[in-house]
Amino acid sequence: MEKNPIENSILKNINKPSDIKSLSEAELELLCTEIRQTLVDTVASTGGHLASNLGTVELTVAIHKMFSSPEDKIIWDVGHQAYAHKLLTGRRESFSTLRTEGGISGFVRPDESEHDSFYEGHAGTSVSQAAGVAAANAAKGSKNYAVAVIGDGSFGNGMVYEALDHAGSTRTRLIIILNDNEMSISENVGAMARYLAVVRAKPEYYRFKAGTEKALRKIPLVGKSLSNHLFRLKNTLKNIIYSSSFFEDLGFKYIGPVDGHDIGHLCDAMDSAKMVEKPVIIHVNTVKGRGYDHAENFPEKFHGISKFDINTGEPLQSSGSYSSEFGRIICDFASKDKRICAITAAMALGTGLEEFSKSYSDRFFDVGIAEEHAVTFGSGLSAGGMLPVFAVYSTFLQRCADQLIHDGALQRRKLIIAVDRAGFVGEDGETHQGLFDVSLMQSLPNTTVYSPATYCEMSKAFYNAFYKDTNLVVIRYPRGRMPSDTEYADLCAGDCEIIGNPDAEIALVTYGRLFFNAEKALKILGDKAANMKIIKLNCIKPIPEEAVDSALGCKNVFFFEEGMRGGGVGEKFGCELLLRGFKSDYKLVAVENEFVAHASVDRLMEKYSMSPEKMAYIIEEETAV
């Protein structure tokens, strides 16, 4: 795809979804081309989710052609495939601000547009939400539709099946579009099945079917029996061809598989679905990365990508990260200990487990987007004598609260949770910030939590987790790379480290990567830092006695925490000081009771007073005589 402006643009005249309803099929196809060009150009400059969005362009156009948003609720699972939806719903002119501070979000959010029904950032929620909307419509006598768009990856989430089990028993205007962009049509769907799929997707089929059944039932004496017999015969034949009646057994009408890049076929399928007086599944096949060769050939690489060169597809940022270091560390341990195994919830590449998956495939388990199952599965592996490590983003660990409590801590299993993207993640915004895991873990018995700053400390934390600590162990680390301008890159501290004068009367207490900001803050303060020290926590649960002892004699203690204030380490540390008679000044800087919007990590550090400059300013202001 060349980076050239498209002449005679159709997209520039689309300001609301209804603007596409009068377009011809040829115009709709040109519109799709223009959308794809806009997606590639924009994401190359801002970063974001590209492959999934390129795959849903025709699907999005067809949805807005056949439904009337916002009266009909379009609910995007995860929301990372809704960029085309944003372009068609009044956000075209602001699309260049995607994922930038003050700009539009990379996910759907109701405070951004009336066409976004829910905040979406986690998988598997759309079917439950759409089922609820459809039930509300039915209760009010509304004729509007609830449409859930969910990918086959999200379809592996257990919550989806809870929703399907319930929704299939209702008589609501619920339409679920299963966007199948990973699995090819299985071998039993041959030429005949494909032909029948096209026929069954056409609205004429449903008009003829309804008319035939109505006529048969009017035949005296035998009409109803004949109609029922033909219905059973039809289902038997269909099941032979498709070898599955899963969705219809649950109470849904199944339409598909449908070519997700054929707008005419998609519109026919959606028109047919609107004629069915029960919940409907439309099975759509799409190709991730469609229209941009680099993304189509390497869809995982372009699932979530930083800024990149359009011509080469290569990221503009240098490689190396805490995630890749984790991957190296666990491979190193696994090469010496055959008990060590790794679990991911469909995030092998993102969590740094790609090399492990190749080198130790018999000890690698990708359970799909099923974080809850991953934790309990890990508990089972532990019971079987293995040393399981579940690598998961902090934001997705939130889904596992019950499993961590009941199947991890309570069971006293040796289960290790590697928490990636801990703290601010930046441009992905509220649904992805890793700010809640510490508060959750602080309340768990039988649990040890590490938050290393350096790569060496990461390695030491995993050694402790494998061979020293018992029960549930959590090791959390941030997105991005360790700073290259630190004096402490090789630091490999124990549970805590005192940096500077041990007898200093002013203490900065922190953990994780904020240590590097504290280091720079002392340099900014210059000579004033002579009476200051950094109390660096590596183990944040339990809080090391040495750290509390070091802070007790200080006149001023400043605790900086890249997480929520409520239930965090800073509150716990302050409580420990009070219990031991501390009567001096204690100031806690953390995220207050709010969700953190999208912006760069550096900007968030500044906004929440955690940048080196803001740290230095706060300390100077509070300690001035």
Task: Indicate which residues carry an active-site annotation.
Answer: 288, 371, 399
User: 453-483 burial by CB neighbour count: b if 16+ within 10 A, else e?
Assistant: bbbbbbbbbbebbbeebebbbbbbbbbbbbb
- Residue 485: burial class (beta carbons within 10 Å; 0-12, 13-18, 19+): exposed
Q: Which helix (H) or strand (E) holds 255?
A: strand 253-259
CB 85 within 8 A of CB 115: yes
Instruction: Provide CB contacts within 8 A for 387, sequence distance 6+.
Output: 337, 339, 340, 341, 414, 416, 466
How big is the CA angle at 424 (ends 419 and 425), to the nearest 5 degrees? Answer: 75
Amino acid at 62: A
- The phi-psi region of residue 283 (left if phi > 0; otherwise alpha if psi is between -120 and 50; otherwise beta) is beta
User: Could you tell me the CA-to-CA distances from 594 to 397, 399, 430, 534 in Å, in that order?
Assistant: 19, 19, 9, 28
Quick check: bond before 279 cis, omega within 30?
Answer: no
Cα 132 to Cα 549: distance, rounded to the nearest angstrom = 54
CB 287 within 8 A of CB 57: no
Beta strand 174-180 pairing with 280-285: parallel
Cα 128 to Cα 162: distance, rounded to the nearest angstrom = 8
Sign of dihedral through CA atoms 18, 21, 22, 23?
A: positive
Task: Give me the torsion for CA of 402, 176, 49, 29, rounded to 10°.
Answer: 180
| Residues in a beta bridge with 74 | 147
Cα 599 to Cα 611: distance, rounded to the nearest angstrom = 14
Task: Give a three-class secondary structure readout of 201-244.
Answer: HCHHHHHHHHHHHHHHHCCCCCHHHHHHHHHHHHHHHHHHHHCC
Cα 434 to Cα 441: distance, rounded to the nearest angstrom = 13
Cα 528 to Cα 498: distance, rounded to the nearest angstrom = 18
